Amino acid sequence: MTTAVLKAKNIQAKSVTIDAQGKVLGRLAVEVAKLLSGKDNVLNANNLVAGDKVTIINAKNVVVTGNKKATKIYHSHSGYPQGEHEETLGSLLARKPEEVIRKAVRGMLPNNKLRDDRMKRLAVFAGDSNAE
């Protein structure tokens, strides 16, 4: 008896569109991370990018529970002295709602060499389509 091994040339990625209208940010991120990593596919391979291509629309209408809009802080550093920047979830959601979802999904994916390739399969739009 032989074991079937999934090859990169045999992967056929589906395209999935998700409407973020009224969905909770964390629950949406878990759903998208499962699709990107291929956990829902029968032919799953941890060493390949075997997930689906995911498009998220209406990112500006995502819901955040509790008091996270005021208390959750995103940190970044430019590399220069005194180059630390902080921004709350509420201000980032108002300025770049796509980035909020992208950061949440990135945090849900495993920290390995395939994460960047999986993130390339994610497209996030603030409005109804890619025109906005």
Are 47 and 5 contacting, i.e. CB atoms less than 8 angstroms apart? no
For the segment 112-125, the average pLDDT, to the nearest whole number, is 95
Confidence band (pLDDT; 50, 70, 90) for 130? low
Out of 17-31, 39-53, 56-70, which region has the weakest mean confidence (pLDDT)? 39-53
Residue from 55, 88, 83, 60 nearest 73 by CA = 88
Are 38 and 1 contacting, i.e. CB atoms less than 8 angstroms apart? no
Residue whose token pair is 């430019």: 78
DSSP state of 60: G
- Domain spans of the chain? 15-124
Are 49 and 87 contacting, i.e. CB atoms less than 8 angstroms apart? no
Element (DSSP H or E) covering residue 55: strand 53-57
Alpha-carbon distances, residue 61 vs 19, 52, 88, 90, 112 (angstroms)? 9, 23, 17, 12, 30
For the segment 23-40, the average pLDDT, to the nearest whole number, is 94
Largest CA distance in the chain: 62
The CATH code of domain 15-124 reads: 3.90.1180.10
